[in-house]
């Protein structure tokens, strides 16, 4: 059986966006599922708009998504000798010719065709003239004048194009620069690409590429054109919908596995299943289950799925992911047992890593003062000082603050004061975190540890006494 070879060929004229990332993912999944090869190719022939910064941004996004490639990255600007060789093949076989018509002349041809009710295109004026190479000449492909070209699309089904509507399109400009459709075919032939999965905005390019494959006597790859990604209002995805750099989602605290899970479900399905691990996607992905309707990008659904992935991830998996966010907030955090404990109290209640880092704020502060004003007014009152002091005395006697030993300490303070657990727990929560919202009181005390807890209880008592004096 022939090895499946797919490719992802971004143009480095900007960041990697959602639609491009989904295309890369579908190609990567199909290659991985079939033990094939995934090729990365940088289509940088647009030298005016292509930048190294964009190349770096594409690599950064691919690495964050963990979409590893088996070959490449290839750069089209490093392959011009190969393109010239294949251009000569077309000229030698009579499938291409030199054309010296000016842009103004070609535009006049198109205007005339439109006036006659025909498709605007080049009229073939230089097709049989046998012109030699010259400084002002382009090279045009000699498209067939009759018949049809059929795109056998594994997603959309067969799409038929009338050859009478095909142009003798340019394959090399007068400055020697080969054109997009030509270099793509040469690249795919020479790289052994046999499966092309791409956005359906490329459908109109496909008949031209098929004609080039045939002229170069090369077998056609399998073509599959995936529907577009739309915003929630069903219009083309733009920045207001979330069409930003893929790495922006990383910076917003999304997990790469959650992001690719969501991307995969934008146009592909496996029954009613929504949550997929990376391995499950590799095992279950298939071209036949890619839908024909556009996917709708919904940030709320992405966030909900991200929360599911955070809950499903282990503490050790989350630690290196959340660490940069903690350090970015100025916390002296390390990938250690303390961080593991912190994550253990937060990962079931956090939708993003940013939210988790925000929730961890009190764990890393030396002093949680100033307290939230409303919380302090309600819970850090004069009568609370005795409760906090009694609890600190109980904790002082304990070897550690494991949950079971804490329960005994709280019980003894409840017996001494006659107060219910809630009347004690909320002042303690404010004393330890500065607010009334936190993980469970027992788990946060265990993670903070004896020294931090005693210091914060004492600080709260000092605060109450100074406020009352």
- Tell me the DSSP string of 19-60: HHHHHHHHHHHHHHHTT-EEEEEE----TTT--HHHHHHHHH
**Which of 197, 226, 255 lies at the terminal end of a domain, its last residue?**
226
Is 239 noted as a catalytic residue in this protein? yes
The answer to whether residues 288 and 162 belong to one domain is: no
d(CA 342, CA 1) in angstroms, rounded, equals 51
Nearest to 260 by CA among 9, 3, 423, 16: 16
pLDDT band of 235, cuts 50, 70, 90: confident
The answer to whether residues 169 and 90 belong to one domain is: yes
Query: Residue 35: is its pLDDT beyond 90?
Result: yes
d(CA 153, CA 151) in angstroms, rounded, equals 6
Please tell me whether residue 196 adopts helix, strand or coil conformation. Answer: strand
Q: How far apart are the first and last CA of the chain?
A: 86
Q: Taking residues 185-206, what's their average pLDDT?
A: 97
Percent of the chain with pLDDT over 90: 92
Q: What is the CATH number of the domain that holds 357?
A: 1.10.8
Q: Taking residues 153-180, what's their average pLDDT?
A: 96
The answer to whether residues 100 and 195 belong to one domain is: yes
Please tell me whether residue 291 adopts helix, strand or coil conformation. Answer: coil
Q: What is the CATH number of the domain that holds 196?
A: 3.40.50.620
pLDDT band of 37, cuts 50, 70, 90: very high
Cβ contacts of 328 within 8 Å, gap of 6 or more: 357
Q: Taking residues 245-262, what's their average pLDDT?
A: 96
Q: Taking residues 67-78, what's their average pLDDT?
A: 98
The answer to whether residues 211 and 331 belong to one domain is: no
Report which DSSP code applies to 270: S
Count structural domains, the chain. 4
The answer to whether residues 101 and 197 belong to one domain is: yes
**Which of 180, 202, 226 lies at the terminal end of a domain, its last residue?**
226
The answer to whether residues 98 and 204 belong to one domain is: yes
pLDDT band of 413, cuts 50, 70, 90: very high
Query: Which of 195-199, 240-244, 428-432, 462-466 is the least confident region?
Result: 240-244
pLDDT band of 238, cuts 50, 70, 90: low
Q: How far is CA 19 from the centre of its chain?
A: 9
Which pLDDT does position 239 carry in this prediction? 60
The answer to whether residues 108 and 180 belong to one domain is: yes
The answer to whether residues 299 and 341 belong to one domain is: no
Cα dihedral 318, 323, 328, 333 in deg (nearest 10)? 140
pLDDT band of 160, cuts 50, 70, 90: very high
Question: Which residue's entry shows tokens 């499966």?
Answer: 195
d(CA 166, CA 41) in angstroms, rounded, equals 28
Domain span holding position 447: 373-468
Peptide bond connecting 103 to the previous residue in cis, omega within 30 degrees of 0? no
Q: Taking residues 16-43, what's their average pLDDT?
A: 97
The answer to whether residues 121 and 185 belong to one domain is: yes
Q: Taking residues 363-384, what's their average pLDDT?
A: 95
Environment class of 130 (CB within 10 Å of its CB; exposed 0-12, middle 13-18, buried 19+)? exposed
The answer to whether residues 408 and 386 belong to one domain is: yes
Q: How many C-beta atoms surround the C-beta of residue 400 within 10 A? A: 10
d(CA 90, CA 69) in angstroms, rounded, equals 31
Environment class of 437 (CB within 10 Å of its CB; exposed 0-12, middle 13-18, buried 19+)? exposed
- Quick: pLDDT tens for 267-277: 999 999 999 99
Query: Residue 469: is its pLDDT beyond 60?
Result: no
Backbone phi, then psi, for 161, in 5-degree steps?
-120, 135
Q: Is residue 200 within 8 Å of residue 156, measured between CB atoms?
A: yes
The answer to whether residues 216 and 109 belong to one domain is: yes
Which pLDDT does position 242 carry in this prediction? 55
pTM score of the predicted model: 0.93
Query: Residue 216: is its pLDDT beyond 80?
Result: yes
Query: Residue 197: is its pLDDT beyond 90?
Result: yes
- Quick: pLDDT tens for 133-157: 999 999 999 999 999 999 999 999 9
Query: Residue 448: is its pLDDT beyond 90?
Result: yes
Q: What is the CATH number of the domain that holds 451?
A: 1.10.10.350
Please tell me whether residue 158 adopts helix, strand or coil conformation. Answer: strand
Instruction: Compare 326 and 296 and report the one with higher pLDDT.
Output: 326
Which pLDDT does position 356 carry in this prediction? 98
Query: Residue 234: is its pLDDT beyond 80?
Result: no
**Which of 280, 304, 328 lies at the terminal end of a domain, its last residue?**
304
Question: Which residue's entry shows tokens 């080039």?
Answer: 212
For residue 290, CA distances in Å to 30, 284, 388 come to 12, 12, 60
Question: Which residue's entry shows tokens 């727990």?
Answer: 425
The answer to whether residues 435 and 388 belong to one domain is: yes
Query: Residue 449: is its pLDDT beyond 90?
Result: yes
pLDDT band of 200, cuts 50, 70, 90: very high
Which pLDDT does position 117 carry in this prediction? 87
Average pLDDT of every residue of the chain: 95
Query: Pairing relation of β-strands 5-8 and 37-42?
Result: parallel
Which helix (H) or strand (E) segment is 263 a member of? helix 256-264
Q: Is residue 213 within 8 Å of residue 174, measured between CB atoms?
A: no
Percent of the chain with pLDDT over 70: 98
Q: Which of 119, 239, 292, 411 is catalytic?
A: 239
Query: What does the block give as tokens for 459?
Result: 């600080």
Query: Residue 195: is its pLDDT beyond 90?
Result: yes
Query: Residue 1: is its pLDDT beyond 80?
Result: no
């Amino acid at each position: 059986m022939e090895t499946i070879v797919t490719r992802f060929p971004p143009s480095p004229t900007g960041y990697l966006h959602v639609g491009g990332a989904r295309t890369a993912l579908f190609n990567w999944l199909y290659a991985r599922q079939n033990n094939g090869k995934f090729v990365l190719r940088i289509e940088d022939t647009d030298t005016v708009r292509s930048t190294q910064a964009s190349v770096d941004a594409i690599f950064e996004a691919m690495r964050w998504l963990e979409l590893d490639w088996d070959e490449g990255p290839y750069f089209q600007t490093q392959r011009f000798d190969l393109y010239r060789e294949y251009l000569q093949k077309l000229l030698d076989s009579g499938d291409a010719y030199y054309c010296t018509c000016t842009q103004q002349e070609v535009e006049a041809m198109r205007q005339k065709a439109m006036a006659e009710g025909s498709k605007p295109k080049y009229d073939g004026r230089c097709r049989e003239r046998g012109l030699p190479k010259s400084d002002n000449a382009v090279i045009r492909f000699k498209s067939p004048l009759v018949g049809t070209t059929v795109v056998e699309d594994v997603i959309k089904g067969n799409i038929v194009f009338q050859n009478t509507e095909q142009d003798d399109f340019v394959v090399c400009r007068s400055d020697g620069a080969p054109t997009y459709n030509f270099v793509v075919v040469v690249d795919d032939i020479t790289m052994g690409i046999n499966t092309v999965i791409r956005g359906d905005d490329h459908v109109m390019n496909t008949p031209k590429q098929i004609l080039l494959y045939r002229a170069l006597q090369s077998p056609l790859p399998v073509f599959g054109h995936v529907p577009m990604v739309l915003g929630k209002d069903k219009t083309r995805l733009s920045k207001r919908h979330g069409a930003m750099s893929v790495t922006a989602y990383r910076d917003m605290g999304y997990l790469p596995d959650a992001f690719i899970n969501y991307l995969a479900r934008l146009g592909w399905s496996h029954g009613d299943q929504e949550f997929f691990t990376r391995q499950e996607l590799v095992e279950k992905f298939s071209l036949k289950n890619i839908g024909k309707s556009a996917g709708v990008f919904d940030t709320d659904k992405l966030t909900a799925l991200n929360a599911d992935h955070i809950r499903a991830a282990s503490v050790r998996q989350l630690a290196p992911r959340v660490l940069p966010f903690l350090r970015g907030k100025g916390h002296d955090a390390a990938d250690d047992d303390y961080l593991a404990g912190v994550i253990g109290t937060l990962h079931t209640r956090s939708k993003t890593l940013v939210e988790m880092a925000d929730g961890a704020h009190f764990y890393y502060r030396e002093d949680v003062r100033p307290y939230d004003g409303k919380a302090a007014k309600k819970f850090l009152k004069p009568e609370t000082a005795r409760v906090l002091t009694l609890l600190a005395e109980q904790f002082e006697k304990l070897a550690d603050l494991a949950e079971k030993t804490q329960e005994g300490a709280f019980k003894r303070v409840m017996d001494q004061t006659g107060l219910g657990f809630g009347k004690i727990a909320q002042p303690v929560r404010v004393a330890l975190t500065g607010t009334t919202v936190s993980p469970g009181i027992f788990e946060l005390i265990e993670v903070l540890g004896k020294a931090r807890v005693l210091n914060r209880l004492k600080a709260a008592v000092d605060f109450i006494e100074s406020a009352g004096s």
